[in-house]
Amino acid sequence: MGPPATAPPSVCPSPNGSYPPADCTQYTVQGQSTQTIVRSFPTPTPPPFTVQDAITASIVVHSNQQFHGQSATDFLTNETDAGPQQTITTTDNVYFQFPQAGNILNIGYHSQDSNGVTLDVQNGSGNGIVGQVPTPAPMWTNNASQTIVENDPDGTTTTQTINPDGTYSLTRQETAGTTNAADNPDGSGSASIPSTSFFNFVGTGTVVSVTAPSGGSITFTLTSSGAPTPTPTPIALTVPAWFAPPLAADATTNEGVTSIPVACNTAPTYGTTGIQLHEVKTNIDPVFGIQETQTTDTWVGTVGTICQILNDVTKVYYDFTGQSVPVVSGSGQPIQTTTFNEALGLQSISTAAAGRHALSLSQARAAFTLRLDMARIRAQRMRMRILTRQVQSLESFLRRRPVR
């Protein structure tokens, strides 16, 4: 994977209200986020854990850039998330393609935070549509096609290739070995873990498998891999199905002109109403027990996007920490629910050039991508953290829990 393009713009043209946004166009955004984690197990349950962050970001537009061989406009975003325990700074290069007519696309982004984690995300064909020119349709959909590569400071690399229907293959390479996982359209799937501890150190690893929902149930099975002799008896648990295919969906509807929520704290000069775009996105991971529902509302005014509110609910159904018995919830209810709420408001728009003017209404409708996908990118980083924790917890669980 090549590094993102970082070449600076050569000229700062005027005006800044152009479509697509011109070189040197700058935005400042601020807002707040709240993350609440609620556990259903063990009993008695621990109290909810809540973290609030203050968010500030500055964005500079660089045109004529390259992202994995594709020409694009780079929205270079420097973001600060200040929380009670730590402050994280992140640099995102977010790449858009702005046609004269047709779909406006977010083709992906490259992210690096102050903890040393890098994330490279490419949206595949049929994914990344964020609007149309000259007028957005009443409704549009995206598929789930995406390639994600995460590199951690300890040298661990996680690569996930997501298909249009939400099925995926995952490879995680680390010092302890390589973990592979994949799922199927019917909801079945498996993961191969490089640990033999669970089955008394025989074989070459452990396979976790999940069956497709049938009769309202699924079966979660642990099996020793590598044809060990004697072969340990697999451990299987049948529980209520917590999901049903399809594994992914993403639809946006145009709600017309509505009032801008006070929560965005948008600069008053940008108005009190805007065109509301309502997106609902779902993702299901049967292998690691993760279900996410993400709702994003974006308000567009005559200067472009001025407000965005995101609600992301991620439910985890498998507890590999050892705190819950059984590992898979027998009630069909999530073991942990993480709720992430965020509100962002536009504070300013400027360029190095003196001439500026507001966008026309048709341009504003087309330019709602100026929301920069900030909230959705942050939600995706959180989803990858949850997935990574699940993989790490499963590996640790299998290494410390030999069969008696």
Establish if 4 belongs to a structural domain: no
Establish if 12 belongs to a structural domain: no
Establish if 21 belongs to a structural domain: no
Closest by Cα among 200, 253, 198, 260 to 230: 200
Establish if 15 belongs to a structural domain: no
For residue 357, the tally of other CB atoms under 10 A from its CB is: 11
Q: Look at residue 373 in the predicted model and tell me its pLDDT.
A: 61
C-alpha distances out from residue 219 to 50, 242, 401, Å: 33, 11, 20
Closest by Cα among 244, 220, 225, 224 to 233: 224
pLDDT tens, position by position, 47-105: 888 989 999 988 888 989 999 999 999 989 899 999 888 899 999 999 999 888 888 89
The Cα–Cα gap between 2 and 122 comes to 12
pLDDT tens, position by position, 235-272: 898 999 999 999 999 999 989 899 999 999 988 888 89
Amino acid in the structure at residue 404 = R
pLDDT tens, position by position, 169-198: 999 999 989 999 999 999 999 999 988 888
The Cα–Cα gap between 32 and 76 comes to 20
Closest by Cα among 260, 295, 302 to 278: 295
The Cα–Cα gap between 96 and 20 comes to 10
Establish if 323 belongs to a structural domain: yes
Q: Which helix (H) or strand (E) holds 218?
A: strand 217-225
pLDDT tens, position by position, 387-403: 887 887 787 777 765 44
Q: Give the mean model confidence (pLDDT) for residues 115-125.
A: 94
The Cα–Cα gap between 130 and 254 comes to 12
* pLDDT range class, residue 325, cuts 50, 70, 90: low
Q: Is a pLDDT exceeding 90 seen at residue 352?
A: no
pLDDT tens, position by position, 213-239: 999 999 999 899 887 777 888 989 899
Q: Look at residue 401 in the predicted model and tell me its pLDDT.
A: 53
Q: Is a pLDDT exceeding 50 seen at residue 362?
A: no
**25 or 350, greater pLDDT:** 25
- Give me the number of domains the chain comprises: 1
pLDDT tens, position by position, 7-20: 444 445 444 456 67
DSSP assignments along 139-175, one per residue: EEE----EEEEEE-TTS-EEEEEE-TTS-EEEEEEET
Contact in structure between 28 and 348 (CB atoms under 8 Å): yes
CA 403 and chain centroid, separation:
36
The Cα–Cα gap between 341 and 311 comes to 5
- Six token digits for residue 41: 């197990």
The Cα–Cα gap between 311 and 384 comes to 17
**202 or 210, greater pLDDT:** 210
Closest by Cα among 193, 127, 161 to 1: 161
SS3 assignment, position 40 = coil
Q: Look at residue 287 in the predicted model and tell me its pLDDT.
A: 93
Establish if 195 belongs to a structural domain: yes
The Cα–Cα gap between 222 and 237 comes to 9
Q: Look at residue 371 in the predicted model and tell me its pLDDT.
A: 43
Q: Look at residue 22 in the predicted model and tell me its pLDDT.
A: 73
Task: Find the domain containing 238 and state its range.
Answer: 26-350+357-400
Q: Look at residue 357 in the predicted model and tell me its pLDDT.
A: 38
Closest by Cα among 218, 248, 259, 252 to 236: 218
The Cα–Cα gap between 255 and 249 comes to 19
Query: What are 314's strand-pairing partners?
Result: 292, 338
The pTM of this model reads 0.87
Contact in structure between 269 and 303 (CB atoms under 8 Å): no
- Six token digits for residue 197: 């501890």
Q: Is a pLDDT exceeding 60 seen at residue 364?
A: no
Establish if 208 belongs to a structural domain: yes
Establish if 96 belongs to a structural domain: yes
**377 or 315, greater pLDDT:** 315
The Cα–Cα gap between 181 and 189 comes to 8
